[in-house]
Structure 1
Amino acid sequence: MAGEIWGVVDSSSARAEILRRIRAANGGAADGERASRQWNAIERNYRRAATRSREEILDLLEDRLRDYDANVVRVTAPDIALTVGKMLSERGKRKIVIPPGMEQTWLPEGFDFVVDEGASSAEMDGFEGVMTASTCAIALTGSVVLQGVAGQGRRAVSLIPDYHLCLVRVEDVVETVPEALDRLAATSTLPTTFFAGPSATADIEMTRIKGVHGPRFLDIILVERP
């Protein structure tokens, strides 16, 4: 068969012939129709809704984030600016890039907050950190989700600086991945980033390296209603 396909026809014809045979082996259905049947036939028995209490969900998110080496604190809205200032001071950070649309009441005095206006990668690397809001967080995976919207900004803003301070409203914390995807359905065309803790990876010898794909240091502020 190999000689029949590869030894006689050119590569484009060979590809067409292979695809024809695959379709024939699958009953000859059109690609779109077959894909639709396969999609609808998938069993969706996985959990799609929360089973824990609200407090248990928040505790789980905190536990996962800390396990991933993130620092997590809970505050009420009136204390955000005070907490931001304290965390930045403890990290020794002063020059912080922020996305357009960041809530101004979250920004304490005494720091150099610079709004991103399309800074280059080299310029972005000159900042000591970045501060953003978030779209939602997933307790089971310890993940935080950012999108290209006001207060969260473009993807480069959260990936290039070495330090990230991220604010997550407790009402935006869900327990499961399906719950998060339901929330993201209306904005699924926007650039979206999922992260769980500071950036880290390991080579074949299991040497853990921080900062390869994003910030090495991560602080999370969970914002509760007063």
Structure 2
Amino acid sequence: MKSSVIVFPGTNRERDVADVLAEVTGTAPRIVWHGDSEVPQSDLIVLPGGFSFGDYLRCGAMAAHSPIMRDVVAKAKAGVPVLGICNGFQILCETGLLPGVLQRNASLKFICKDVWLKVESTRTRFTGCYNQGEVAQMICAHGDGNYFADVATLDSLEGEGRVVFRYCDPAGNVTPEANANGAQRNIAGIADPTGRILGMMPHPENAAEAMLGSVDGRKLFESLLAA
């Protein structure tokens, strides 16, 4: 499986996700600079976490206009799977590949802690190795992870089964207390209508080794390989 990881000024999780992809797929991904004009032929494109362009203007707003993103958007629309993690999720929303926006956390504080996610959909290329309703322990590290969209968009996401992950407690209960950042309807990750584009705030690449406290995120990458 050939994959490409896009790097912007301020990206800081590209090596984390590259290591997991290399281990799971057996092939090291290409690291692609934001100033390039074309993504190499890929079976997967990843927009990793970090603080692209220092999060000026809005998180992901400047990165969305980088030269490489024209080709990322074109390839996504042509059917290449795209995974956006944390800042990558913000960039996907800024490009319009996914609806909604990521606002400041309700606490107005940066959050870095373990979170639990309820798998709401296994009908994507990213979640086929999970069970419906499974609880996955992952890690979040963000200041702007509060997912917001208008009611019509939220209802559409729910009705089309495009809410992929939702914040929950370790027992799988979706409660206000389990909501890490104030995201509407506890949404932690959403997909496009095809299930080939996924944006999520928590970091599966940092929950893929036992020494880090959880291997639940590894299933996401194994799902991609199986798909």
Higher share in helix: 1
Check whether TM > 0.5: no
- TM-score norm. by structure 2 comes to 0.29
- TM-score norm. by structure 1 comes to 0.29
Which has the greater radius of gyration? 1
More contact order relative to length (CA 8 Å, sep ≥ 6): 1
